[in-house]
Amino acid sequence: MCLAIPTQIKSIGQDQIATVVLGGVERKISLIMTPEAQIGDYVLIHTGYAIALMDPEEAAASLAAFAELAEIQEELGFSG
């Protein structure tokens, strides 16, 4: 099973490398598979690569679902 995480592109540097923020941590990702991506776009990230562009509403819904899952895990006493 694969997990892709939605996030927003904050900046794009050389060689199709973008900066995003995941969980409060700034990360560098490759845009080699999504060369059309621009600053401000939402993308799905998997293993350091943006694998698809996302509609902002779809990204918001996905992020809300992840937040809800995290809250449920916390309520059940799971830590990650």
User: Which pLDDT does position 79 carry in this prediction?
Assistant: 67
User: Which pLDDT does position 23 carry in this prediction?
Assistant: 80
Q: Which of 18, 35, 79, 73 is nearest to 7 (CA)?
A: 18
3 pLDDT tier (thresholds 50, 70, 90): confident
pLDDT tens, residue by residue, 24-70: 899 999 999 999 999 999 999 999 999 999 999 998 898 899 889 88
Q: Contact, 27 vs 19, CB < 8 A?
A: yes
CATH of the domain at 54: 2.30.30.140
How many distinct structural domains can be found in the chain?
A: 1
Distance CA 14, CA 54 (A): 22
**Host domain of residue 54:** 5-76
